[in-house]
Chain A
Amino acid sequence: MYDILIVGAGPAGLTAAIYARRASKSVLVLEALTYGGQIVNTLEIENYPAEPHISGFDFATKLYNQAKELGAEVRFERVTEIRKESSDADASHFGVITAKSEYEAKTVIIATGSANRKLGISGEEALIGRGISYCATCDGAFYRGKTVAVVGGGNTALEDALYLSDVAGKVYLIHRRDEFRGEEIAAAGLKEKANVEFILNSVVTELKEDGGKLVSVTVADAKSIAAGEPTGLREIPVDGLFVAVGRIPSNQSFAGLIETDEAGYIKAGENCKTNVSGIFVAGDNRTKEVRQLVTAASDGAIAATAAINFLNR
């Protein structure tokens, strides 16, 4: 029986592991993929205090090694279910089920983060890696001098378009509204780029391929789609489509046990406490305003401290 079982080895989960180990609690971290979470996709982190320039890979590796050095146990197994084994608050006990095994813990911290939201249109899945990408900094280099489109209207979409405008020959930015949710400064920077064309009030309705590669996207007027009668159809030849339409919290496995909001984020305030006594949540999969590396780390510290206090009560 572990004192604290952490689901997810991203910045939130590993920070929680550090705090828990420094309080001499036994810790198991279960991770479905590899350590680091989505930060490993970031080429360079420039907004983390006292680390003006560090790659996402280096950050993740340093954090992982720090948690391991402090004695955190990390296993690479996907958690499929959490069971509450005891309803007695004084004998808090959870069963954590993975594809390979089953573990017991007195407290659980869920730090599973989020995954890329897909467009959800026909052919998308088959064209991933053959024209469709969810990571501009990872795959932009394949489109040097070529024509690409970015779909989305948040910061990620704006940053992706800006990054790609320096690499690709032509960048279309497709957004379903006529204004952007992202930072003003990024949108303003894009408007100055001669090779960036805005396609606003539009949604992607169709992907066309030739020989297994993406060759064009078709857009339609966003309002007409909502009305059920697509108008303003326009086929745009592209070599690549970068999808940046937000993220989905990875909480599906816990939906039965823990309360989430309509979008699937686990409901918890800044104290990281969920509706289940003994279960805490940390990082991007929690309901919150600011989802950043530094707030993920902060959540990790808060959730671990809450779990430690719960154990010591």
Chain B
Amino acid sequence: MAVITVNKDNFENEVIKSEKKVLADFNAAWCGPCRMLGPIIDELANENDSVKFVSINIDENPELAAQYGVASIPCLVLFDGGNEVKRSVGLIPKDEIESLIG
């Protein structure tokens, strides 16, 4: 599945009410490490059907970043049943993301 772009309007439906676990990638266009991480997230999204992958731009959605206390990007937050269960800050390799969602 492709990565879904999430904003404050669809966050509730796509993340909080999601049946599947959700990996939220908080990022920004000007953030180099985020741009490095993007293609890895795309790859994982295509390989995994059991987890939903969403992208949240922190410039366009500062309230979501503030709500989840995101103060460094890239920041990956794993949601299960609408609750944050795991978090990783900074650029990490694919296998570490796999163990984060695994």
Other-chain contact of A139, B59, B69, B73, B94 (Cβ < 8 Å): B73
Complex interface residues of chain A between 136 and 156 (CB less than 8 A to chain B): 138-139, 141-143
A55 located at the interface, meaning its Cβ lies under 8 Å from any Cβ of chain B in the complex: yes
Query: Given the complex of chains A and B, what is the CA–CA distance between A78 and B92 in angstroms?
Result: 12
Q: Which residues of chain A are near B69, meaning CB under 8 Å? A: 130, 212-213
On whether the beta carbons of A142 and B65 are closer than 8 Å, the reply is yes
On whether the beta carbons of B32 and A129 are closer than 8 Å, the reply is no
On whether the beta carbons of B91 and A128 are closer than 8 Å, the reply is no
Among A31-39, A84-92, A183-191, A254-262, the stretch that binds chain B is A31-39
What is the CB-to-nearest-CB distance from B76 to chain A, in angstroms, rounded to a whole number?
Answer: 10
What is the CB-to-nearest-CB distance from B78 to chain A, in angstroms, rounded to a whole number?
Answer: 14
Complex interface residues of chain A between 141 and 182 (CB less than 8 A to chain B): 141-143
On whether the beta carbons of A141 and B94 are closer than 8 Å, the reply is no
B93 located at the interface, meaning its Cβ lies under 8 Å from any Cβ of chain A in the complex: yes
Other-chain contact of A129, B31, B35, B40, B70 (Cβ < 8 Å): B70
Q: Which residues of chain A are near B35, meaning CB under 8 Å? A: 40, 57
Other-chain contact of B72, A33, A142, A212 (Cβ < 8 Å): A142
Size bin of chain B's contact surface: 20 to 34
The residue in chain A whose Cβ has the minimal distance to the Cβ of B89 is: A129
Q: Which residues of chain A are near B59, meaning CB under 8 Å? A: 141
Query: Given the complex of chains A and B, what is the CA–CA distance between A57 and B89 in angstroms?
Result: 18
What is the CB-to-nearest-CB distance from B73 to chain A, in angstroms, rounded to a whole number?
Answer: 7
With A32-B93, A128-B90, A129-B89 as given contacts, are A138 and B71 in contact (CB-CB < 8 Å)? no
With A129-B70, A129-B71, A142-B71 as given contacts, are A34 and B32 in contact (CB-CB < 8 Å)? no
On whether the beta carbons of B65 and A33 are closer than 8 Å, the reply is no
The residue in chain B whose Cβ has the minimal distance to the Cβ of A131 is: B71
Query: Given the complex of chains A and B, what is the CA–CA distance between A143 and B59 in angstroms?
Result: 13
On whether the beta carbons of B36 and A129 are closer than 8 Å, the reply is no
Query: Given the complex of chains A and B, what is the CA–CA distance between A78 and B96 in angstroms?
Result: 12
Complex interface residues of chain B between 68 and 102 (CB less than 8 A to chain A): 69-73, 75, 87, 89-95
A56 located at the interface, meaning its Cβ lies under 8 Å from any Cβ of chain B in the complex: yes
A231 located at the interface, meaning its Cβ lies under 8 Å from any Cβ of chain B in the complex: no
Query: Given the complex of chains A and B, what is the CA–CA distance between A110 and B93 in angstroms?
Result: 19
Q: Which residues of chain B are near A34, meaning CB under 8 Å? A: 36-37, 40, 91, 93
Query: Given the complex of chains A and B, what is the CA–CA distance between A60 and B94 in angstroms?
Result: 18
Q: Which residues of chain A are near B75, meaning CB under 8 Å? A: 129
Q: Which residues of chain A are near B92, meaning CB under 8 Å? A: 33
Q: Which residues of chain B are near A23, meaning CB under 8 Å? A: none
A305 located at the interface, meaning its Cβ lies under 8 Å from any Cβ of chain B in the complex: no
On whether the beta carbons of A57 and B70 are closer than 8 Å, the reply is no
On whether the beta carbons of A129 and B93 are closer than 8 Å, the reply is no
A251 located at the interface, meaning its Cβ lies under 8 Å from any Cβ of chain B in the complex: no
What is the CB-to-nearest-CB distance from A288 to chain B, in angstroms, rounded to a whole number?
Answer: 24
Other-chain contact of A138, B40, B70, B72 (Cβ < 8 Å): B72
Closest 4 CB pairs of A and B: A129-B89, A129-B72, A40-B32, A57-B32
